[in-house]
């Protein structure tokens, strides 16, 4: 009897602990210390709030089976749909409070770009936690977070729900402050070093190339990203964002100047890239030719302004998230410094003889876009700014959608070109004061070309084509979800893995594990077009190639993230052959269904795909290209 009483008392203590005590800790805390706090507890419900899949995997492995992570994947996805408008309205008001200073628009907090700002992600975590407490009646005993600011907000909220809340810091007080600013300082130093290297490269290349005159009128400035492979040795410029547009503009007698935003360039590649820019037949605006020492000094010291700047905060639906805001403003300082330089560049250009007639900006509404637009509106007030959004929008990629405060601050284009009329409604989700027109789907011209029919070959093994997204953590999460269920799968199929161009197959195999890879997966290194030609099913994540698969009638399974917001461009398509999978079980069940579809079903999918193409993409022709040129510039 005594033994039973002891066991009963232990269970009672376990229940009391779960309901009365919450442990909050940051990633990096000694896991054995955390486990010791729950010694004797049979099952500990816990949550992970963070975007780093590798950290999630490490924590979950070290905690062991006694700790049961609460699956929030469905709930997080639902919450993001419900709270999106509230969040945007809050950002609108925050912008009004702080946006009188033009540099506010160059900072992380205002950007709504979830790849650099965690504000929306953290707000969704908070609402998920509230939902678990109040609706689902689940109280986690442990919450592991990546954000110190989020941990502080949760601690304050949890004091109402728990008798005791313990916050475990991974570092001592002094080290905690150092850790907060370490990444900020490293980015600061990195950007200054790149700025210095570019100055040297510009100087060396200028001394070796003859001076080129500014193009004659009329002039368009095209803002685009420039990669290491964008310029060939023979002088060819391959702009992956605007295919066909340069030739069309030149036929109209308009001179082109390119404002390049350099991306993914290695230290050693700047010298050859600057030389190619100066020698190319396309006129590139080399910013080092126009900026002054004072511009570089101001930009170098700009991070100090960010640190010292006090943000006027307002509650987000009765939640004080100031700790998250303070943390957020220190993120991605390199983008903010780049925005400052771009702004000062075009202010300098406004003091020269240059008189462009219009500007075409690859418009993702990032801080660099806002800097470009605001500077042009100041330096060239009569110039028309066209924002090109030649892509499909995802609901959670909030920065792609202009909002009213941005319109009022004049950091948006005069006109936005989108690919279809259906997108017009999307782009105006948060403001009606944007002029939108439909133009050519430049990057998707191949969708209107004839495609070989080779899907219904019955004498070959079926092929599952896995198109990995650009984010390595998401790619590994997808591969592990595939691997978890593959042993129980009975079909004899090829599983081909096509890596994103941002990394090599060797790199992803090393992270995933050579033995696991070679046992089940085959690396595929051909083009996307050829990959889709031999695909029976496409499994992917955040990549635009899935829309191409859907148009060809290929079943698409989108892998939904476990603890991160999703960016499925097909999420609003209610189509039979497009599925979202939240678990390994859901993923493999969908694969099994699609492998067994009939020839008639597959043909019907192709018919639906053609309708998708007509609805969401505009073919390239004279009419669809004309919208890129303002009427007052035609025939000048």
Asked whether the predicted pLDDT for residue 27 surpasses 80, the reply is: yes
Query: CA-CA distance, 411 to 343, in Å (whole number)?
Result: 12
Asked whether the predicted pLDDT for residue 294 surpasses 60, the reply is: yes
pLDDT class of 635 with cuts at 50, 70, 90: low
Please, what sign has the CA dihedral across residues 317, 321, 326, 331?
Answer: negative
Return the domain boundaries, the chain: 21-169, 190-289+332-441+625-633, 463-616
Query: CA-CA distance, 246 to 282, in Å (whole number)?
Result: 10
633 phi and psi angles, rounded to 5 deg: -105, -10
Structure tokens that stand for 214 in this block:
């500014």
Does the domain at 21-169 match CATH 3.40.50? Answer given as yes
What Rg, from alpha-carbon coordinates, does the chain have? Answer: 27
In whole angstroms, how far apart are CA 117 and each of 122, 135, 273? 10, 28, 31
Does the domain at 190-289+332-441+625-633 match CATH 3.40.50.11930? Answer given as yes
Structure tokens that stand for 396 in this block:
């959670």
Ramachandran sector of residue 93 (left: φ over 0; alpha: ψ -120 to 50; beta: rest): alpha
Q: Order of strands across the sheet with 493-498?
A: 522-524, 493-498, 462-467, 537-540, 556-559, 578-581
Structure confidence at residue 335 (pLDDT): 95
| CB-CB contact of 557 with 587 (8 Å) | yes
Query: CA-CA distance, 447 to 592, in Å (whole number)?
Result: 28
| CB-CB contact of 117 with 109 (8 Å) | yes
353 phi and psi angles, rounded to 5 deg: -80, -5
Query: CA-CA distance, 378 to 344, in Å (whole number)?
Result: 11
Structure confidence at residue 203 (pLDDT): 92
Q: Report how far Cα 63 is from the mean position of its chain's Cα atoms.
A: 30
| CB-CB contact of 587 with 535 (8 Å) | no
Q: pLDDT digit string (tens) for 357-399?
A: 999 999 999 999 999 999 999 999 999 999 999 998 999 999 9
The burial of 7, by beta-carbon neighbours within 10 Å (0-12 exposed, 13-18 middle, 19 or more buried), is given as exposed
How large a percentage of the chain has pLDDT more than 90?
69
Asked whether the predicted pLDDT for residue 6 surpasses 70, the reply is: no
296 phi and psi angles, rounded to 5 deg: -70, -35
| CB-CB contact of 165 with 24 (8 Å) | yes
Most confident of 379-393, 478-492, 522-536: 379-393
The yes-or-no answer to whether 190-289+332-441+625-633 and 463-616 have a common fold is yes
Residues 6+ apart with CB under 8 A from 229: 238
Structure confidence at residue 383 (pLDDT): 96
Q: pLDDT digit string (tens) for 150-205?
A: 999 999 999 998 989 999 876 554 555 666 678 889 999 999 999 999 999 999 98
Residues 6+ apart with CB under 8 A from 101: none
Over range 574-586, report the average pLDDT: 93
Structure tokens that stand for 569 in this block:
């461009």
Cis omega (within 30 of 0) on the bond before 533?
no
Over range 606-623, report the average pLDDT: 92
Asked whether the predicted pLDDT for residue 89 surpasses 50, the reply is: yes
| CB-CB contact of 73 with 563 (8 Å) | yes
Structure tokens that stand for 314 in this block:
């307002």
In whole angstroms, how far apart are CA 422 and each of 108, 397, 436, 618? 30, 17, 11, 11
The enclosing H or E element of 185 equals: helix 173-208
Over range 584-595, report the average pLDDT: 94
Query: CA-CA distance, 482 to 468, in Å (whole number)?
Result: 12
CATH of 463-616, one of 3.40.50.2000, 3.30.390.50, 3.40.50.620, 3.40.640.10: 3.40.50.2000
Q: pLDDT digit string (tens) for 235-271?
A: 789 898 999 999 999 999 999 999 999 998 888 889 9
Please state, rounded to an integer, the average pLDDT across all residues of the chain.
Answer: 89
């Amino acid at each position: 009897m005594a033994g039973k009483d002891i066991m009963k008392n232990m269970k009672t203590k376990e229940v009391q602990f779960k309901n009365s005590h919450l442990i909050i800790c940051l990633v990096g805390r000694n896991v054995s210390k955390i486990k010791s706090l729950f010694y004797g507890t049979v099952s500990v419900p816990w949550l992970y709030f963070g975007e780093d899949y590798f950290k999630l995997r490490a924590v979950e492995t070290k905690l062991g089976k006694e700790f049961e992570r609460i699956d929030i994947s469905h709930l997080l996805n639902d919450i993001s749909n419900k709270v999106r408008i509230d969040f945007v309205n809050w950002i609108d008001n925050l912008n009004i409070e702080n946006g009188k200073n033009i540099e506010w628009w160059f900072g992380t907090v205002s950007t709504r770009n979830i790849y650099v700002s965690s504000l929306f992600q953290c707000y969704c975590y908070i609402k998920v936690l509230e939902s678990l407490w109040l609706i689902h009646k689940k109280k986690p005993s442990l919450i592991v977070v990546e954000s110190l600011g989020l941990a502080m907000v949760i601690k304050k909220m949890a004091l109402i729900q728990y008798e005791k809340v313990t916050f475990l810091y991974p570092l001592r007080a002094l080290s905690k402050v150092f850790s907060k600013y370490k990444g900020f300082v490293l980015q600061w130093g990195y950007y200054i070093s790149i700025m210095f290297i570019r100055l040297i490269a510009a100087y060396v290349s200028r001394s070796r190339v003859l001076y080129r005159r500014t193009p004659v009128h009329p002039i368009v400035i095209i803002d685009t990203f420039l990669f290491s492979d964008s310029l060939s040795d023979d002088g060819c410029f391959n702009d992956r964002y605007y295919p066909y547009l340069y030739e069309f503009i030149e036929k109209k007698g308009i001179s082109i100047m390119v404002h390049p935003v350099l991306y993914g360039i290695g230290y050693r590649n700047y010298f050859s890239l600057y030389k190619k820019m100066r020698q190319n037949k396309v006129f590139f605006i080399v910013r080092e030719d126009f900026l002054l020492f004072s511009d570089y000094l101001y930009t170098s010291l700009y991070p100090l302004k960010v640190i010292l700047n006090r943000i006027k905060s307002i509650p987000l639906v009765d939640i004080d998230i100031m700790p998250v805001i303070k943390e957020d403003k220190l993120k991605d300082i390199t983008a903010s410094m780049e925005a400052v330089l771009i702004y000062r560049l075009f202010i300098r250009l406004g003091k020269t003889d240059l008189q462009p007639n219009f500007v075409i900006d690859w418009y993702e509404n990032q801080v660099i876009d806002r800097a470009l637009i605001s500077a042009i509106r100041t330096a060239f007030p009569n110039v028309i700014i066209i924002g090109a959004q030649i892509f499909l929008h995802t609901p959670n990629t909030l920065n792609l959608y202009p909002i009213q405060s941005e319109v009022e601050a004049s950091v948006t284009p005069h006109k936005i070109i989108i690919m279809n009329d259906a997108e017009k409604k999307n782009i105006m989700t948060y403001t009606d004061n944007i002029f939108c027109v439909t133009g050519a789907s430049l990057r998707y011209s191949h969708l209107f070309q004839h495609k070989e029919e080779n899907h219904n070959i019955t004498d070959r093994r079926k092929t599952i084509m896995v198109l990995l997204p650009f984010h390595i953590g998401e790619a590994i999460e997808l591969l592990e979800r595939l691997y978890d269920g593959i042993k129980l799968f009975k079909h004899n199929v090829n599983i081909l893995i096509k890596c994103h161009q941002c990394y090599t197959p060797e790199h992803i195999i090393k992270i995933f594990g050579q033995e696991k890879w070679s046992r089940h997966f085959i690396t595929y290194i051909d083009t996307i077009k050829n990959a889709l030609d031999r695909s029976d099913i496409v499994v992917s994540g955040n990549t635009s190639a899935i829309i191409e698969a859907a148009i060809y009638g290929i079943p698409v399974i989108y892998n939904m993230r476990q603890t991160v917001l999703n960016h499925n461009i097909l999420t609003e398509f209610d189509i039979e052959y497009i599925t979202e999978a939240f678990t390994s079980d859901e993923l493999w069940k969908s694969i099994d269904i699609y492998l067994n579809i009939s020839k008639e079903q597959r043909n019907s999918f192709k018919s639906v795909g053609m309708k998708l193409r007509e609805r969401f993409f505009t073919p390239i022709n004279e009419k669809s290209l004309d919208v890129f040129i303002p009427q007052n510039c035609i025939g000048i």
